[in-house]
Structure 1
Amino acid sequence: MNLARPKTPTKAQRTAIAALMAAAGLVTAAAATPLLPATAAPVSHSSKGCGVATAQAPGTGADYELVSGGLTRTYRLHLPPQYDKKKASQLIVVYHGRGKTGAFTEAFSDLSKLNAIVAYPNGVVGDEDKQAWQGAPYAAKGVDDVKFTNDLLDSLEASYCVDTDAVYATGKSNGAGFTGILACRLADRFAAIAPVSGAFYIEGTRCAPSRPVPVLDIHGTGDTTIPYGGDGERDLPSVQTWVRDWSVRDHCSPEPKVTQQGDDVLTFTYKGCRADVVHVAVTDGGHSWPGSDSSSGPGYVTQTFEAHELIGAFFTAHKMRH
Structure 2
Amino acid sequence: MPLSPFLSLALAVAVTVGSAQSSGCGRDIPSKFPSPGSSKNLSLPGADREYRLYIPATYDKNRPAPLYFSFHGASKDMLEQEGLSQFSNPEFNKDGIAIYPNSKNGYWLSNPNADTSSPNDLDFTNDLLTHMEELLCIDPSRVYSAGKSNGGGFTSVLACNATVGSRFAAFASVSGAYYDNDNTPGIGPCAPAQREEGYPFLEFHGTIDTTAPIDGNDSKNPKLPTIDILEGWAEQNGCGHDAKWATNETVFTTPLVKHAVWNCDGKQGIVQHYREGDNGHCWPSTVSNDDYTSNPDQCPLGKYVFNATAYIFDFFGGYRLETQLVDRDHL
TM-score normalised by structure 1 residue count = 0.83
SS across alignment from 1:124 = coil
- Aligned match of 2:212: 226
* Equivalent position to 2:135, from 151, 154, 159: 159
Report the Cα offset of residue 60 of structure 1. 0.8
- Aligned match of 2:311: 310
Over residues 99-151 of structure 1, what are the superposed CA-to-partner deviations in whole Å (9 max), with x where a residue is unaligned? 111111111221112121000010011xxxxx111111011242500000011
User: How far apart in 1 are the matches of 2:56 and 2:214?
Assistant: 34
- Aligned match of 1:197: 175
Moved more, 251-260 or 172-181: 251-260
* Equivalent position to 1:277, from 264, 271, 295: 271
Query: What amino acid maps onto 2:249 in structure 1?
Result: T
Superposition pairs for residues 34-183 of structure 1, below 5 Å?
34-36=5-7, 37=9, 38-39=11-12, 40-42=14-16, 43-54=18-29, 55=31, 56-67=34-45, 71-113=47-89, 114-115=93-94, 116-125=96-105, 131-143=106-118, 144-183=120-159
- Asked whether 1:255 is paired with 2:226, we answer no
* Equivalent position to 1:239, from 218, 223, 226: 226
- Aligned match of 2:191: 208
- Give yes or no for contact 1:172–1:196 (8 Å, CA) kept in 2: yes
User: How far apart in 2 are the matches of 1:220 and 1:161?
Assistant: 37
Report the Cα offset of residue 187 of structure 1. 2.8
Superposition pairs for residues 4-15 of structure 1, below 5 Å?
none
User: How far apart in 2 are the matches of 1:107 and 1:320?
Assistant: 28
Cα distance, 1:266–1:273 mapped onto 2, change above 3 Å: farther
Over residues 147-195 of structure 1, what are the superposed CA-to-partner deviations in whole Å (9 max), with x where a residue is unaligned? 0001100100011111100001101011111011110112321111101
Moved more, 253-262 or 78-87: 253-262
Report the Cα offset of residue 41 of structure 1. 3.3
- Give yes or no for contact 1:108–1:293 (8 Å, CA) kept in 2: no
Identity, in percent, stands at 33
Over residues 253-295 of structure 1, what are the superposed CA-to-partner deviations in whole Å (9 max), with x where a residue is unaligned? 7332012222232110111346500011111211000105252
Over residues 223-249 of structure 1, what are the superposed CA-to-partner deviations in whole Å (9 max), with x where a residue is unaligned? 010001001332311001111111111
- Asked whether 1:267 is paired with 2:259, we answer yes
Cα distance, 1:279–1:307 mapped onto 2, change above 3 Å: same
- Give yes or no for contact 2:234–2:264 (8 Å, CA) kept in 1: no
- Aligned match of 1:20: none
Cα distance, 1:274–1:199 mapped onto 2, change above 3 Å: farther
Moved more, 286-295 or 88-97: 286-295
TM-score normalised by structure 2 residue count = 0.81
Query: What amino acid maps onto 1:66 in structure 2?
Result: L
Equivalent pairs counted in the alignment come to: 283
- Give yes or no for contact 1:35–1:259 (8 Å, CA) kept in 2: no
- Give yes or no for contact 1:93–1:119 (8 Å, CA) kept in 2: yes
Report the Cα offset of residue 296 of structure 1. 2.0
- Give yes or no for contact 2:84–2:289 (8 Å, CA) kept in 1: no
In structure 2, runs of 5+ residues without a counterpart are: 183-187, 324-331
Over residues 191-213 of structure 1, what are the superposed CA-to-partner deviations in whole Å (9 max), with x where a residue is unaligned? 11101111111111211111321
CA RMSD of aligned residues (A): 1.7
In structure 1, runs of 5+ residues without a counterpart are: 1-32, 126-130
